[in-house]
């Protein structure tokens, strides 16, 4: 409890500092102006969401291999948190796009694959509500989670492999891409803050699964007695 609370406080302080750095310390981008400051929040949320889905993927693989309930709990926790981060990406993206592109949304490869990613993890969570038997639910959702993760590299690669309305990458985008050093520093700090927040939320959500497991055991005990 104390460790989680401490991590929560650290995460809160870090995201406040990241917001301050994004809004006040980072230099203003010449073409887009102030609206480009959404970048620090939008892209770092996307990266933290990808990392949460990676945790879910690894937990799903480990569940299929070991059949330990703890991996199922971790999988669903990371999936829910990843979904929250992807929701933020899908909301902040159009808010940024509208003044710059003149449209809220277009069905290009990056935007469409991100929306499909969101739908896949909504389906992952819905699937869990449809299967009552815990072991069967864990196995089916783990197999679905492994399949769902295949979209993550597709989202990452969409702006690298195809010409899209979405801008080309400025981070990890090759020789012709790059960022001003202060912008880069602010971005990596924001991404770090978002990852700490993501880890904190996964830990909090994991606790819910752990307690739900405890409730199931206690209910069985009460029934037996």
Partner 1 sequence: MKNLDSVFAAYVIGWAVFFLFYLTVAKRTLSLRTEIDRLKNSLPRAK
Residues that bind partner 1 (CB under 8 A): 19, 23, 33-35, 37-38, 41-42, 45, 80-81, 84, 87-88, 91-92, 95-96, 98-99, 197, 201, 204-205, 207-208, 211-212, 214-215, 218-219, 221-222, 225
Between 66 and 220, CB nearer to partner 1: 220
**Minimum distance of partner 1 from residue 105's CB (angstroms):** 15
Do the Cβ atoms of 25 and 172 come closer than 8 Å? no
Class of residue 66 by CB neighbours under 10 A (exposed 0-12, middle 13-18, buried 19+): exposed
Give CA–CA dist 186/182, Å, rounded.
6
The tokens of 147 are what? Answer: 């399949």
**Minimum distance of partner 1 from residue 96's CB (angstroms):** 7
Torsion angle, CA of 177/48/39/6, rounded to 10 degrees? -130
Q: Which residues is 33 bridged to in the sheet?
A: 29
Between 37 and 128, CB nearer to partner 1: 37
Between 10 and 61, CB nearer to partner 1: 10
The tokens of 44 are what? Answer: 């770092």
- Closest by alpha carbon to 124, among 171, 80, 89? 80
**Minimum distance of partner 1 from residue 16's CB (angstroms):** 10
Between 91 and 126, CB nearer to partner 1: 91
**Minimum distance of partner 1 from residue 35's CB (angstroms):** 4
């Amino acid at each position: 409890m104390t460790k989680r609370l401490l991590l929560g406080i650290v995460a809160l302080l870090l995201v406040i500092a990241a917001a301050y750095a994004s809004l006040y310390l980072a230099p203003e981008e010449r073409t887009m102006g102030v609206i480009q400051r959404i970048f620090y929040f939008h892209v770092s949320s996307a990266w933290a969401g990808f990392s949460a889905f990676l945790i879910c993927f690894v937990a799903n693989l480990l569940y299929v291999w070991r059949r330990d309930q703890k991996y199922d709990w971790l999988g669903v926790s990371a999936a829910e948190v990843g979904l929250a981060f992807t929701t933020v990406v899908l909301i902040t993206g159009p808010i940024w796009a509208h003044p710059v592109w003149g449209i809220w949304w277009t069905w290009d490869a990056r935007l469409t694959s991100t929306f499909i990613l969101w739908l896949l993890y909504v389906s992952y969570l819905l699937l869990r509500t449809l299967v009552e038997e815990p072991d069967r639910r864990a196995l089916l959702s783990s197999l679905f989670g492994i399949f769902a993760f295949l979209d993550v590299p597709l989202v990452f690669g969409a702006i690298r492999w195809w010409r899209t309305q979405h801008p080309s990458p400025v981070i990890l985008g090759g020789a012709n891409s790059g960022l001003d050093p202060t912008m880069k520093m602010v971005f990596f700090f924001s991404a770090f803050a978002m990852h700490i927040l993501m880890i904190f939320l996964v830990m909090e959500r994991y606790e819910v699964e752990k307690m739900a497991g405890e409730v199931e055991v206690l209910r069985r005990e009460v029934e037996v007695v």
